[in-house]
């Protein structure tokens, strides 16, 4: 009888009603002592209340007690407390009373535009949530609906987002609500695009610089005020002035690796921090323990994976399925590991519906309900510094309470009945009871025998009036409207129209009815029996399984090919027998030779080595062993942006700040024999960022990837990319636009750094505060030879220009990268002892590489340049041995020398050749076992070892594959059984569900998909991506890396 | 050493460049050429040491070496001593943009994508630049034929042509046209995959858009059919429509549709589409093809695996998934061949075709199958195996002379013949190499 739209409208209406009527303020705002004149009649409601006979809940346990509230505070709590004379008495029999809950993270829109005072628009430490955040009526009602009486409000957007504030969620003006106007400074590494910074590493660099600036500003200002005549006043800055390093800092962790990044900043500036988490905490317990701070946890558990179509289900990674299963257990796991957490409703799409559901799931999954209570009360009260006033039900605290029917933490049927804020009660359900299910006796239709109607539970109201007969009804404007067939009332045809309002006291319906004959009468209905809500009992949670998964997240990273325990101990001594060993050293290629390793180092290589006692022997006859391969140009394992391509000079950014050990490329490249990689900043600007040399220690955390002792480096770039030649017609203004300008901006920066050094020395001599400039400090490191340059270059003119620049300023060039016309000026490259790290045979993807030739490496090498092949591509990095073979093909390089192009030569270029790159006694036991000739296209890697630990092994790989398949099957089955249990969740054939799905909560997770934005410098991706190379831009259409 | 660079610097800063190689196509040899003493790898049968006779651009005879019957040289028979050398058929790259672009980043040199999303009437061969510097580089590594494929931002890209990498004009170079009508099957998004309401909305929109696209595709086939029917019955009012004219071959079954598609879901959809439309189909890309083996076998759908050297599409997949894909197809008896990725940025690197096949061999494809997958199999799938793909009597004298297995990087390719004509193996890169070797000789370095 209703069209689709009508049904939708009804559902919407029914679903909105609770919100519309929810927590209607019983009393209008009652003022605290204020200075504003009152307009109109004063509201002086009684502020003395006695809540009698309820169960008072606290972390100390349940207690049946009375509570007296006076003037917005708890006056007394106790079993024997009696209601004071004149108090309004509330019967709390059968109800539970909780301390008002505290929302530790409420992100709000800013009511007014903020005019920042910092040069960078994303730095707004002087912004204040207390004055700018908008807490409208709807928001207040929503928060109170979940039982919150206090919220910690946080400004949206920005890196330094500003100061957060604490509000009482009562109505009234700001003054009535505000508890604390400066809780802490909110920090987010998400850059939000639009100018510097455009990458994670850029954000971190900006945070570092800004914190340092603030420190300097305060010192410089103090020095100036002490001796105004000798110390110049720093330029006034409201932003820096309001940024106090001693204050509390609230960091937003957007993914599971942000904890490490936060730790770096925390240590460097000795900050007092709180972290707002992301739901992946359970994977990083050790990092969190090291971080040692309170964590605000969202309850953004993922919804049921969509695996109906098995072909589409292929696109779910194991990691996602695991997260679906495990995330609800996260709070339990985190809390039992001695970490303090508090819960937030932040990020839930329909929090009113989902927040408590999810709390109860977390409880079912093992978090102690008492702890969960603390996570909503005493813990947030403490971290927000209001534990003296909030978070418990004892005398003296704010009269913030939550009244419920049923235990909110355990009982799925429990409901919040009222939330009191500051002594003001906000009651629920002034609207008619919506649940009219049950058996009703109808009267008022004359002498007809009493009619019995049955209304089953459900969102759509259906009235059954006989065997298999039913008609429907709807709520409109708080009334129940029915149109039963007139036959029921003895008339022949047509429908009657009845409307009724519900009397919640008497549990009766009564109203006017018009029969089809036009006869009008009053009718009454009395509920004779409620129908037990069967469906609701089953509902629980349809998206998330209740059973605790039998899983431990001891392995890292999550998902496929995760390594549980590293297979071998470092101390193990092993002798590999009878292999062809390519040493890439003086020993050359030794046939039928043995390799002895101990404690992760190479002991000896030779024929028929004696087998020392206690040494494990491995037969490697017929195999080839080479040094672990080294890729001198990689962009793998970098999170959220490889380019800080906004400014022309961004030497302050560090690839090392954004390492991503979850990148599956690491495992795939190990499977190709790669053990070391030089992670470089992209080539979008002339002076890019600091590099990070890593070892491919798959399974470690970010720090575990670093190649300790590698020479620090930096990426510079020349040519088409930095002058934005292929970025489109809009990118024509950034300096430089020509190769002429590229030289000049580099020269300018080096000179600026030298002059900065003079200022710095002078300031130190005079004991005067000096502003540390991270950008120029990094340039100084380059000038001092502490940091070597890896210069992206193609054409001979620019290569020569850079050679001359290096000679002029005396810095060290580690490598010319790509250097595809290196063969034209190899003598100049050799002159400054720089390396050449090139592609084996790439060319013609843009104009500046049209003269590239595959003989480049051979020619450079012959002229005396230390030459290597690099990948610049996640896929190519899986087969660097084949790249090496191309040096044999093009230019007659010997096989032994060709292998050096991917072993000892890149090691020399990166200044790590004392440790890796060749097989020699004393060096790291980084090597690869091949099933055949390493330069043969038909060969493949059998094992890859790093420091005596096996990181890839064909047999283990087979086991891991099987585990992946089994794990996927198990999880998919679990999803299916969850779905069968809750067919309602299946939205396939139900249009109305579709609408609902739009509004129901779906987990939000931070995920940066590889997207190409207008400005090509913002290609970023988050964790657990599919490993595809970001190389969409080799053509130079967009700035990437070559 | 003549390089014809014409630089037009227009006041807007717009850069247009004409590119040309200076390799000279050789004249047709007269008489009979005998390549003797080489290890001959016919591909279609076992290898042996023997001699190959070529005449009029065709293979006249291949015979095993017989010391009792020496071959006599005379006026019309010239013997080329190939002792210790190996002879293989020329390799065929079956999905490339060669000829259609010179430098992808330079807009003026991009001729691979026509505007609009239904372009059945555009033909690749007419824009193949015989003087492209990319072609001599490609053939110098033994890749002597390439399928030049129009690209698309939409659905129907156009008609591909098989080109031999030798000739004065594109007409001379064209071996077969049209080989196929190329279709880009859109990826169908799954709104159920959304992680939040906002994403769901976006995915739904994308899904609806894709559905509309697929409707357009189907409708274009229906319209083509209706148009041809109207023309057939001699409806004089029916005016010419180039698009639907160009689909005649496809609808009559003489030209297959080449569907560029990778994921299982879309492969299923594409095959279903071809069955419903009663047209022949070839899958190009096909990274999930091994998952669709029963379907592909049932309908005898060939797969051009493009490429082998790639990463698994999904994070959880085995690292060798792309390499094992052809192994599984071969074992199951699905017709396949191997080629590179075939994007415009890959055009300069199509010479690495043999190493795509070798990689599959490293992961289990028998070596002789790997060789076939870049010679005989592409010839069969592209419908030119009567002339190309193997060394057999009567086929084109199109072959390479090498130091050994061309699938090994370290093997050198000495010579190549296309239709009996010797190929100049030098190219822009070898010329630059020679030039700069001289620089260091002059300076006494290197």
Domain ranges of chain A: 103-388, 438-532, 739-915
A213 in reach of chain B (CB within 8 A): no
- Confidence at residue A547, expressed as pLDDT on a 0 to 100 scale: 60
In the block, which residue shows the tokens 């620019």?
A: A798
Sign (positive or negative) of CA dihedral A846, A850, A855, A861: negative
Number of H helices, E strands in chain A: 27, 44
- Confidence at residue A963, expressed as pLDDT on a 0 to 100 scale: 92
**B299 neighbors B279 (Cβ within 8 angstroms):** no
Top pLDDT among A220 and A192 is at A220
**A55 neighbors A64 (Cβ within 8 angstroms):** yes
Alpha helical stretches, state H, A423-514: none
Q: How far is A478 from chain B (nearest CA, A)?
A: 30
Question: Which residue from B17, B410, B432 is facing A889, i.e. has the nearest CB?
Answer: B410
Displacement of CA A807 from its chain's centroid (Å) = 45
- Confidence at residue A458, expressed as pLDDT on a 0 to 100 scale: 64
Distance CA A326, CA A551 (A): 8
DSSP-derived 3-state class of residue B20: coil
Q: Mutating which of A302, A795, A878, A938 best tests the B interface, going by the most B Cβ atoms within 10 A?
A: A938
Question: Which residue from B190, B428, B429 is facing A306, i.e. has the nearest CB?
Answer: B190
A896 in reach of chain B (CB within 8 A): no
Q: Which residue of A has its CA nearest to B265?
A: A311
- What domains can be seen in chain B, in order of their start residue? 91-388 (3.20.20.140)
Evaluate whether A103-388 and A739-915 have a shared fold. Answer: yes
Tell me which of A96-100, A212-216, A471-475, B220-224 is least confident: A471-475
A92 Rama sector, left if φ>0, alpha if ψ -120 to 50, beta otherwise: alpha
- Confidence at residue A568, expressed as pLDDT on a 0 to 100 scale: 47
Q: Which residue of A has its CA nearest to B104?
A: A845
Tokens of A679: 């992670």
Spell out which residues of chain A touch residue B436, defining contact as CB-CB under 8 Å: 823-824, 859
Q: Work out the percent of chain B whose per-residue pLDDT is above 90.
A: 86
Tell me which of A40-54, A620-634, A741-755, A890-904 is least confident: A40-54
- Confidence at residue A44, expressed as pLDDT on a 0 to 100 scale: 84
Spell out which residues of chain B touch residue A937, defining contact as CB-CB under 8 Å: 354-355, 358-359, 361-362, 407-409
Distance CA B360, CA B303 (A): 15
Q: What is the mean pLDDT of chain A?
A: 87
User: Cβ contact (<8 Å) for B311 and A997?
Assistant: no
Beta strands in B226-280 (DSSP E): 257-261
User: Cβ contact (<8 Å) for A319 and B103?
Assistant: no
Alpha helical stretches, state H, B281-375: 293-298, 321-332, 353-362, 367-372
Q: Which residue of A has its CA nearest to B349?
A: A842
User: Given pLDDT bands bounded at 50, 70 and 90, which one contains residue A617?
Assistant: very high
Strands across the sheet containing A788-793: A687-690, A713-717, A788-793, A813-818, A835-838, A867-869
Spell out which residues of chain A touch residue B105, defining contact as CB-CB under 8 Å: 720, 725-726, 845-847, 1035-1037
Sign (positive or negative) of CA dihedral A501, A504, A506, A508: positive
Spell out which residues of chain A touch residue B312, defining contact as CB-CB under 8 Å: 668, 1026-1027
Which CATH number among 2.60.40, 3.30.43, 2.40.128, 1.10.101 corresponds to the domain A438-532? 2.40.128
**A184 neighbors A164 (Cβ within 8 angstroms):** yes
Residues B263-288 have pLDDT tens digits of 999 999 999 999 999 999 999 999 99
- Confidence at residue A999, expressed as pLDDT on a 0 to 100 scale: 25
Q: Mutating which of B200, B409, B440 best tests the A interface, going by the most A Cβ atoms within 10 A?
A: B409
Top pLDDT among A703 and A458 is at A703
With a CB cutoff of 8 Å and minimum separation 6, the contacts of A927 are A595, A625, A626, A627, A628, A919, A944, A945
**pTM of the model as a whole:** 0.89
Q: In chain B, what's the furthest Cα-to-Cα distance?
A: 83
User: Cβ contact (<8 Å) for B133 and A998?
Assistant: no
Distance CA A919, CA A941 (A): 17
* Helices B264-277 & B197-232 angle (0-180, nearest 10): 20
**Average pLDDT score over residue span A189-203:** 90
pLDDT above 90 for A1040: no
A863 in reach of chain B (CB within 8 A): yes
Question: Which residue from B190, B311, B355 is facing A1029, i.e. has the nearest CB?
Answer: B311
Question: Which residue from B192, B318, B344 is facing A961, i.e. has the nearest CB?
Answer: B318
Beta strands in A772-870 (DSSP E): 788-793, 813-818, 835-838, 867-869
Residues A702-722 have pLDDT tens digits of 999 999 999 999 999 999 999
Spell out which residues of chain B touch residue A874, defining contact as CB-CB under 8 Å: 311
**A471 neighbors A463 (Cβ within 8 angstroms):** yes
- Confidence at residue A467, expressed as pLDDT on a 0 to 100 scale: 74
User: Cβ contact (<8 Å) for B319 and A862?
Assistant: no
**A143 neighbors A104 (Cβ within 8 angstroms):** no
Please tell me chain A's helix, strand, coil percentages from 3-state DSSP, rounded to the nearest 5.
30, 25, 45
Spell out which residues of chain B touch residue A827, defining contact as CB-CB under 8 Å: 440, 443, 445
Q: What is the CATH number of domain A739-915?
A: 3.20.20.140
User: Given pLDDT bands bounded at 50, 70 and 90, which one contains residue A242?
Assistant: very high
In the block, which residue shows the tokens 């259906």?
A: A462
Distance CA A155, CA A130 (A): 9
A1005 in reach of chain B (CB within 8 A): yes
Tokens of A982: 């809750």
Tokens of B65: 């070496």
Distance CA A930, CA A622 (A): 9
Q: Which fold has domain A103-388?
A: TIM Barrel (3.20.20)
Q: What single string gives the DSSP state of each residue in A1018-1042?
A: G----TT-------TTTTSSS----
Spell out which residues of chain B touch residue A1002, defining contact as CB-CB under 8 Å: 194-197, 199-200
User: Cβ contact (<8 Å) for B409 and A888?
Assistant: yes
User: A714 pairs with which residues across the strands?
Assistant: A690, A789
Q: Residue window 911-950, chain A: list those with CB within 8 Å of chain B.
A: 935-940
Q: Among B102, B95, B192, B180, which residue's Cα sits nearest to residue B146?
A: B95
A336 in reach of chain B (CB within 8 A): no
Top pLDDT among A19 and B98 is at B98
User: Cβ contact (<8 Å) for B407 and A938?
Assistant: yes
With a CB cutoff of 8 Å and minimum separation 6, the contacts of A379 are A294, A340, A341, A342, A391
Q: Mutating which of B96, B99, B133, B311 best tests the A interface, going by the most A Cβ atoms within 10 A?
A: B311
DSSP-derived 3-state class of residue A628: coil
Q: Among A599, A597, A590, which residue's Cα sits nearest to residue A576?
A: A597
Q: How far is B387 from chain A (nearest CA, A)?
A: 29
Residues A530-587 have pLDDT tens digits of 655 444 444 444 455 556 555 555 688 999 998 765 544 555 899 999 999 999 999 9
pLDDT above 90 for A987: no
If 0-12 CB within 10 Å is exposed, 13-18 middle and 19+ buried, where does residue B353 land?
buried
DSSP-derived 3-state class of residue A8: helix
Beta strands in B250-365 (DSSP E): 257-261, 281-285, 303-305, 336-338
A1010 in reach of chain B (CB within 8 A): no
- Confidence at residue A1011, expressed as pLDDT on a 0 to 100 scale: 31
Q: What is the mean pLDDT of chain B?
A: 93
pLDDT above 80 for A128: yes
Distance CA A295, CA A337 (A): 12
- Confidence at residue A1041, expressed as pLDDT on a 0 to 100 scale: 39
pLDDT above 90 for A986: no
User: Cβ contact (<8 Å) for A318 and B192?
Assistant: no
Task: Using alpha carbons, list the distances in angstroms from residue A782 to A202, A951, A1041.
Answer: 19, 34, 21
Distance CA A699, CA A943 (A): 16
What is the complex's ipTM, to 2 decimals?
A: 0.94
**B259 neighbors B183 (Cβ within 8 angstroms):** yes
pLDDT above 80 for A307: yes
Spell out which residues of chain A touch residue B318, defining contact as CB-CB under 8 Å: 957, 961
Question: Which residue from A847, A938, A999 is facing B105, i.e. has the nearest CB?
Answer: A847
SS3 annotation, A168-222: ECCCCCHHHHEEECCCCEEEECCCCCCCCCCCHHHHHHHHHHHHHHHHHHHHHHH
Strands A624-627 and A927-930: antiparallel
DSSP-derived 3-state class of residue A703: helix
Size of interface A-B (CB pairs under 8 A): 203
Beta strands in B11-155 (DSSP E): 15-18, 32-40, 48-55, 58-64, 77-81, 86-89, 91-96, 143-148
Q: Work out the percent of chain A whose per-residue pLDDT is above 90.
A: 68
Distance CA A778, CA A776 (A): 5
User: Given pLDDT bands bounded at 50, 70 and 90, which one contains residue A306?
Assistant: confident
Top pLDDT among A548 and A980 is at A980
Phi, psi of A444 (to 5 degrees): 115, 0
Q: How far is A1025 from chain B (nearest CA, A)?
A: 7
Phi, psi of A74 (to 5 degrees): -80, 125
Strands A629-634 and A674-679: parallel
């Amino acid at each position: 009888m209703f069209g689709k739209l009508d049904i939708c409208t009804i559902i919407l209406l029914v679903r909105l009603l609770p919100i519309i009527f929810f927590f209607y303020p019983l009393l209008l705002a009652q003022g605290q002592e204020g200075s504003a004149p009152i307009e109109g009649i004063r509201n002086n409601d009684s502020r003395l209340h006695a809540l009698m006979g309820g169960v008072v809940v606290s972390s100390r346990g349940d207690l049946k007690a009375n509570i007296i509230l006076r003037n917005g505070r708890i006056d007394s709590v106790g079993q024997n407390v009696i209601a004071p004379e004149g108090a309004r008495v509330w019967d709390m029999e059968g109800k539970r009373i909780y301390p008002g809950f505290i929302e530790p993270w409420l992100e709000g829109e800013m009511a007014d535009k903020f005019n920042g005072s910092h040069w960078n628009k994303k730095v707004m430490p002087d912004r204040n949530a207390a004055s700018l955040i908008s807490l409208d009526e709807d928001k207040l009602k929503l928060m109170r609906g979940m039982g919150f009486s206090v919220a910690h409000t946080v400004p949206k957007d920005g890196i330094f987002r500003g100061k957060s504030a604490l509000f009482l969620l009562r109505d009234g003006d700001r003054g009535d609500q505000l508890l604390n106007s400066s809780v802490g400074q909110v920090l987010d590494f998400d850059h939000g695009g639009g100018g510097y910074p455009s990458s994670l590493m850029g954000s971190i660099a900006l945070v570092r610089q800004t914190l340092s600036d603030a420190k300097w500003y305060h010192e410089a200002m103090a020095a100036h005020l002490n001796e105004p005549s000798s110390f110049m006043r720093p330029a006034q800055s409201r932003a820096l002035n309001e940024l106090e390093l001693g204050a509390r800092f609230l960091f937003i962790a957007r993914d599971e690796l942000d904890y490490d990044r936060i730790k770096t900043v925390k240590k460097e500036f000795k900050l007092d921090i709180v972290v707002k988490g992301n739901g992946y905490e359970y994977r990083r317990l050790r990092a969190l323990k090291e971080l040692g701070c309170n964590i605000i946890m969202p309850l953004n558990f993922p919804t049921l994976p969509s695996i109906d179509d098995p072909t589409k289900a292929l696109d779910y990674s194991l990691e996602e399925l695991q997260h679906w299963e495990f995330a609800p257990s996260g709070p339990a796991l985190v809390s039992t590991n001695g970490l303090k957490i508090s819960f937030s409703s932040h990020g839930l799409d329909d929090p009113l519906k989902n927040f408590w559901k999810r709390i109860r799931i977390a409880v079912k999954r093992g978090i102690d309900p008492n702890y969960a209570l603390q996570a909503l009360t005493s813990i947030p009260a403490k971290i927000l510094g209001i534990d003296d006033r909030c978070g418990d039900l004892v005398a003296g605290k704010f009269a913030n309470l939550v009244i419920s029917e049923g235990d909110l933490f355990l009982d799925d049927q429990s409901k919040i009945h009222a939330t009191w804020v500051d002594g003001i009660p906000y009651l629920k359900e002034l609207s008619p009871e919506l649940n009219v299910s049950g058996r009703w006796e109808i009267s008022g239709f004359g002498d007809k025998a009493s009619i019995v109607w049955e209304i089953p539970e459900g969102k759509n109201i259906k009235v059954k009036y006989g065997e298999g007969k039913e008609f429907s009804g709807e709520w409109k404007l708080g009334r129940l409207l029915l149109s039963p067939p007139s036959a029921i009332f003895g008339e022949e045809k047509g429908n009657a129209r009845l409307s009724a309002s519900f009397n919640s006291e008497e549990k009766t319906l009564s109203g006017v009815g018009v029969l089809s004959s036009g006869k009008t009468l009053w009718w009454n209905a009395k509920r004779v029996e409620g129908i037990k809500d069967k469906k609701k009992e089953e509902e629980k949670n349809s998206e998330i399984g209740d059973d605790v998964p039998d899983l431990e997240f001891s392995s890292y990273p999550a998902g496929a090919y995760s390594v549980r325990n590293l297979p071998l101990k470092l101390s193990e001594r092993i002798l590999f027998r009878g292999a062809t060993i390519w040493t890439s050293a003086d020993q050359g290629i030794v046939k039928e030779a043995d390799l002895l390793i101990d404690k992760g180092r190479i002991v000896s290589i030779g024929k028929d080595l004696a087998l020392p006692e206690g040494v494990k022997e491995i037969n490697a006859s017929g195999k080839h062993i080479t040094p672990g391969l080294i890729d001198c140009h990689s962009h793998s394992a970098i999170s959220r942006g490889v380019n800080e391509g906004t400014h022309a000079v961004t030497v302050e950014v560090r690839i090392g700040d954004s390492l991503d050990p979850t990148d599956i490329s690491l495992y795939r490249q190990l499977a190709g024999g790669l053990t070391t990689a030089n992670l470089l900043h992209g080539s979008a600007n002339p002076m890019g960022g600091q590099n990070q040399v890593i070892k491919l220690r798959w399974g470690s955390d970010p720090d575990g990837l670093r190649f300790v002792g590698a020479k620090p480096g930096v990426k510079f770039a020349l040519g088409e990319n930095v002058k934005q030649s292929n970025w489109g017609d809009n990118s024509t203004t950034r300096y430089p636009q020509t190769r002429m300008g590229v030289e000049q901006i580099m020269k300018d920066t080096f000179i600026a750094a030298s002059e900065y050094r003079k200022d710095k020395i002078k300031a130190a001599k005079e004991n005067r505060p000096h502003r540390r400039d991270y950008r120029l400090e990094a340039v100084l490191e380059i000038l001092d030879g502490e940091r070597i340059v890896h210069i992206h270059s193609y054409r001979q003119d620019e290569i020569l220009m850079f050679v001359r620049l290096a000679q002029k300023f005396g810095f060290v060039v580690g490598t010319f990268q790509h250097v595809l016309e290196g063969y034209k000026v190899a003598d100049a490259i050799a002159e400054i002892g720089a390396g050449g790290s090139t592609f084996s045979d790439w060319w013609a993807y843009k104009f500046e590489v049209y003269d590239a030739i595959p003989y480049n490496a051979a020619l450079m090498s012959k002229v005396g340049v230390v030459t290597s092949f690099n990948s610049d591509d996640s896929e190519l990095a899986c087969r660097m041995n084949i790249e090496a073979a191309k040096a044999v093909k093009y230019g007659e390089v010997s096989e032994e020398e060709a292998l050096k192009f991917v072993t000892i030569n890149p090691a020399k270029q990166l200044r790590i050749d004392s440790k890796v790159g060749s097989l020699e006694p004393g060096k790291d036991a980084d090597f690869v076992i091949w099933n055949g000739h390493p330069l043969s296209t038909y060969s493949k890697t059998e094992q890859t070892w790093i420091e005596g630990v096996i990181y890839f092994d064909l047999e283990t790989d087979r086991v891991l594959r099987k585990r992946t398949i089994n794990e996927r099957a198990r999880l998919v089955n679990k999803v299916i059984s969850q779905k069968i249990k809750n067919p309602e969740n299946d939205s396939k054939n139900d249009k109305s569900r579709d609408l609902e799905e739009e509004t129901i909560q779906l987990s939000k997770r931070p995920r940066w998909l590889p997207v190409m934005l207008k400005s090509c410098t913002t290609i970023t991706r988050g964790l657990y991506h599919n490993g595809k190379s970001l190389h969409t831009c080799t053509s130079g259409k967009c700035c990437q890396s070559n | 050493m003549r390089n014809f660079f014409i630089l037009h610097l227009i006041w807007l800063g717009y850069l247009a460049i004409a590119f040309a190689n200076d390799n000279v196509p050789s004249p047709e040899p007269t008489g009979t050429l005998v390549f003797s003493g080489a290890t001959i790898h016919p591909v279609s049968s076992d290898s042996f040491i023997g001699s190959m006779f070529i005449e009029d651009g065709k293979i006249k005879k291949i015979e095993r070496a017989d010391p009792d019957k020496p071959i006599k040289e005379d006026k019309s028979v010239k013997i080329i001593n190939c002792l210790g050398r190996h002879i293989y058929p020329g390799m065929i790259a079956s999905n490339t943009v060669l000829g259609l672009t010179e430098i992808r980043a330079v807009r003026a040199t991009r001729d691979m994508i026509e505007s609009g999303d239904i372009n059945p009437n555009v033909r690749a061969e007419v824009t193949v630049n015989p003087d492209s510097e990319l072609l001599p580089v490609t053939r110098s590594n033994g890749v002597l034929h390439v399928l030049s494929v129009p690209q698309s931002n939409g659905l129907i890209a156009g008609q591909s042509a098989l080109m031999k990498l030798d000739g004065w004009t594109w007409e001379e170079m064209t071996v077969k046209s049209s080989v196929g009508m190329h279709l880009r099957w859109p990826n169908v998004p799954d709104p159920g995959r959304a992680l939040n309401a906002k994403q769901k909305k976006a995915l739904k929109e994308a899904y609806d858009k894709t559905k509309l696209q697929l409707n357009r595709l189907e409708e274009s086939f229906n319209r083509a059919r209706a148009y041809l029917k109207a023309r057939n019955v001699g409806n004089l009012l029916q005016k010419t429509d180039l698009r639907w004219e160009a689909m005649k071959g496809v609808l009559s079954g003489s030209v297959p549709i080449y569907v560029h598609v990778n994921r299982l879901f879309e492969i299923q959809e594409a095959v279903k589409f071809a069955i419903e439309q009663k047209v022949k189909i070839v899958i190009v890309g096909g990274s999930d093809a091994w998952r669709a083996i029963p379907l592909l076998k049932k309908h005898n759908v060939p797969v051009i695996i493009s490429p082998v050297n790639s990463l698994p599409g999904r994070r959880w997949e085995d690292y060798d998934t792309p390499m094992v894909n052809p192994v599984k197809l071969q074992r199951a008896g699905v017709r396949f061949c191997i080629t590179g990725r075939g994007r415009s940025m890959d055009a300069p690197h199509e010479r690495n075709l043999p190493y795509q096949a070798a990689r599959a061999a490293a992961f289990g494809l028998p070596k002789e199958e790997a060789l076939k997958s870049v010679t005989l199999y592409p010839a069969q799938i592209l419908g030119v195996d009567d002339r190309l793909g193997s060394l057999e009597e009567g086929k084109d004298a199109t072959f390479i002379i090498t130091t050994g297995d061309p699938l090994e990087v370290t093997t050198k390719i000495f010579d190549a013949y296309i239709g009996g004509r010797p190929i100049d193996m030098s190219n822009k890169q070898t010329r630059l190499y020679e030039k700069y070797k001289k620089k260091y000789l002059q300076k006494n370095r290197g």
